[in-house]
Amino acid sequence: MICVIQRVTGSSVVVDGSVVGKISTGMNILLGVYKGDDYEDIHKVVSKLVDLRIFNDEQGKMNLSIKDVNGSALVISQFTLAGSLKKGRRPSFDNAEEPVRAKELYDYFCSQLSSHVPVEKGIFAADMKVEIHNDGPVTFILDSKQL
């Protein structure tokens, strides 16, 4: 499982002209699911995310978690994160999880994260327009296989 985590002052997602998810201070999380990912991967990633100190304290140091700043998360499914650019010029998505299983894991990820912080979501497999106000910019990549 791979996440691109962005510290944001605001983020929103639009589907068919309507806002379906919107947050202010918090994290915009683009979530990619690989074949073979499971609930253990989700538990590891969620555990890391909720205590990750990427928000500034009074001295401007990254010392606060999303919980410390009463932040929210906007989680967007992003199968292209599981793509490979190794060969040729067209991405290969052979390593991306099948849609039914990927949606199951995406929904479970969101439910687990929502037990710690407020969560907004995109719509799985929809054509989404995501607006991200990256704060810093601060961006990290988190891979469950490296935890």
Hunting for tokens 């985590």 — which residue is that?
5
Q: Copy the structure tokens of residue 64.
A: 């606060």
Hunting for tokens 């990549």 — which residue is that?
141
State the catalytic residue, choosing from 9, 80, 93, 140. 80
State the catalytic residue, choosing from 6, 55, 78, 109. 78
Task: Examine the residue annotation and report whether 93 is marked as an active-site residue of this protein.
Answer: no
Report how far residue 42's alpha carbon sits from residue 58's, in angstroms, rounded to the nearest whole number. Answer: 32
Q: Give the other-Cβ count within 10 Å of 51's Cβ.
A: 12
State the catalytic residue, choosing from 79, 112, 139, 140. 79
Task: Examine the residue annotation and report whether 78 is marked as an active-site residue of this protein.
Answer: yes
30 forms beta bridges with 4, 76
Active site residues: 78-80
